[in-house]
Each structure stands twice: as C-alpha cells, then as structure tokens.
A and B are shown apart, each in its own frame.
Chain A
Amino acid sequence: GESVGLHLPTLSVQEGDNSIINCAYSNSASDYFIWYKQESGKGPQFIIDIRSNMDKRQGQRVTVLLNKTVKHLSLQIAATQPGDSAVYFCAENQAPGANSKLTFGKGITLSVRP
C-alpha cells in the first residue's frame, strides 16, 4: 500500500475475520523480506520473514505470501483479534551480501472492530 501525505492507509476488519495486508516492493534483486508490527509507543516487533526462494511461509495465525513475478508481498492474519491493531510494515533486504540492510515500506494501519 502507498501512503498519501501524513496519513497511513488503513485496513479496518471485524474481530474474528481474516486480514490481508499487502505490500509492493521495489527491487527484484531483494532476497529477504520481513513483516513487522508496531504498536503505539513501541518499537517494531518481528512477525514473520521469508526468503526469495520460497513463495509461502506460515507461522502461528500468520502467513506470508511472496509473488516475485509482480514484486508483491502479503501478510495474512487469521481470526483477527483486537490485539492485532497496529501499524504493519513490510521490509526488504535490497542489498544481499555483506552490507545487507532493510528498507521499510510506508506502513499500513490495521484497525480491528469489536
């Protein structure tokens, strides 16, 4: 998702529904991707990662999908809970090798309705 000005795009979901958060990445040479969750007043929290030689990886209640053809990454959260409300960032390693570093996407706010 792309942000406009100072307003992050927001995804609003009903508690108990599944959430899908999308991210378009920029560099076809990126070899590693991470999803982070950031709650208000806290640092980013690691959720799940995936390497470019995979197209799907599952964790507890979360699944990351990677489509290298269209440079698209998504995070699926099953049975979304109020505690999932946060800003979600995707990040890519654009410089594989000894000087690798993460570049973050612009972030999407997930709001869970009770």
Chain B
Amino acid sequence: DTEVTQTPKHLVMGMTNKKSLKCEQHMGHRAMYWYKQKAKKPPELMFVYSYEKLSINESVPSRFSPECPNSSLLNLHLHALQPEDSALYLCASSQGLAGGRIEQYFGPGTRLTVT
C-alpha cells in the first residue's frame, strides 16, 4: 500500500479565515512533506518533518503553520492567506531522509482557492 490521503480535496477560503489541510499515511514512513504547486509548474517544497520534528522550512511565510501530531498525520494550518496562495497543496511521505529510503509518495492534493 503506497497511499497518502489528503482532505479536503477542494477548499475555498477568504483572506480572514482559518482553515487546516490534513494528510495521513499508514506506510510506517517517518518523513512527511508539504509542497505547493502552481499551475504548469513543478511542486515546490515548503516543509519537511522527520520523526515528527520539523527538519526543513523553506522560508515559508508564517501564515502557513505545519503540525505533525504523530507519525501518521501531518497538518497545515492556514491563516490570513493571500489570493496568490491559491494553489494545489501536496503532501508526500518517505521511509526516511537518507540512505536507500527517500523515494517520496504523494497524495492527490488539496486544491486551495483564496478569495
């Protein structure tokens, strides 16, 4: 089973709203990732968690706040977003961050529209 699930599939929010994106995997993977993808562009890394600790933050604005409650779950809390934050948000997981375990498996994404 190489499934990563994400909810919701679509989200429309205003600039003053607070919302959360959720990601779950049951593959026993210890690294989880958030990516942002704009139309016709490759995924851009936002955050990496390894063993439930934040490992990489790619200088993401503080209006995006990640959380890893346990090894299977990854959340992305959203607050005071801008219209330019509208994008497909992808979650991924891998066995680890080094050695022979770094192939990443992606979820279907959450299509976010900020109005």
Contact = CB atoms under 8 A, between A and B. Distances in A.
A8 B97 contact: no
Nearest to B90: A43
A43 B56 contact: no
A104 B44 CA distance: 8
Interface residues of A, number: 28
Nearest to A93: B102
A66 to B, nearest CB: 15
A7 B109 contact: no
Determine chain A's interface SS by DSSP, over half rule. Answer: loop
B43 A100 contact: no
Interface size, B (range): 20 to 34
A97 interface: yes
A45 B106 CA distance: 7
A7 B40 CA distance: 7
A44 B97 contact: no
Interface string A73-98: 00000000000000001000100111
A46 B107 contact: no
A46 B105 contact: yes
- Could you say which of B4, B44, B102 has the most chain A C-beta atoms within 10 Å of its C-beta? B102
Contacts of B92: 43
Contact of A106 (B2, B42, B48, B108): B42
Interface of B: 2, 4, 39-45, 48, 55-56, 90, 92, 97-98, 102-109
Given A41-B108, A43-B106, A89-B42, 11 more contacts: A3-B40, A6-B39, A42-B109, A46-B103, A46-B104, A46-B105, A89-B43, A96-B98, A99-B97, A104-B43, A107-B40
